[in-house]
Amino acid sequence: MQQLTALVVLEYAAISEWRMGMGKNPKDKCPVCKKSIQADRSHFERSGVAASPSTKLRCVLYEMHILAASALALNTTWKEEVTFHHPKLGTFTPSKSLEIAALVSFRSLHEFLYNPKCGEDFSIGDFGRTCPKSPKFDGFKRGEMFTKESINKYVVHLTWTRINKPRCIPQPKFGRAPRATIKNARKLLEDAKRFVDDVCNQAKPDAILLDEDGSGYRKIFEEAFARLESLKV
């Protein structure tokens, strides 16, 4: 009952803030037509209520679970019915898809945690927290395979770089990719988990109270992360 009451209070506060014209965020706009939430409530699914910290944190937790679960599943031995063999190209399993999912979530969370100026994205700074010092990730030095540039060029977009393959931008899908992906996911998610534990600490006056969906994502993330931590690679 106390949790439900707190959720009602938080939602009321968000609506009241909108009505008073406070907290107008330039990011609360449609990227196509530029209508703002405050100016045109009917254009947005959330009925004109700007994104609350709880909503933003739920999105972060979703990406955290995707990264943990994808990296964990890279170690799976796949059945023959989902395995494809080609005499020249080799063997393909769902691990290829999971590797891409892990790389994309890694990139998103890396920007969130370690880049205070994310443009249209929100970052750890939007929660009133400073960026932690980035760990030493495998293949993350300039010109190596885990950089944002490398993931953008070879995974996220269909670029000319994929065709031309310049030697100064190595592909992230290199021979030791699964092991490096798992190790890098662990390092990043340790920082991400510390951030979540901090902003959800109910002993703090600015603590975030997650809604039902957010609590669900946090639970399945923690389960996946615990398994990932115990994985031998």
pLDDT tens digits for range 35-93: 887 777 777 776 556 678 898 999 999 999 999 999 999 989 999 999 999 999 888 89
> Is the pLDDT reported for residue 99 higher than 70?
yes
Say how many domains are in the chain. 2
Work out the burial of residue 171: count CB atoms within 10 Å of its CB; fewer than 13 is exposed, 13-18 middle, 19 or more buried. Answer: middle
Model pTM? 0.79
The answer to whether residues 206 and 106 belong to one domain is yes
105 and 66 Cβ atoms separated by less than 8 Å: yes
Look up residue 174 and give its DSSP letter.
Answer: -
154 and 172 Cβ atoms separated by less than 8 Å: yes
The answer to whether residues 41 and 61 belong to one domain is no
The answer to whether residues 20 and 69 belong to one domain is no
Range of the domain at 40: 1-50
User: How far does CA 221 lie from the centroid of its chain?
Assistant: 12
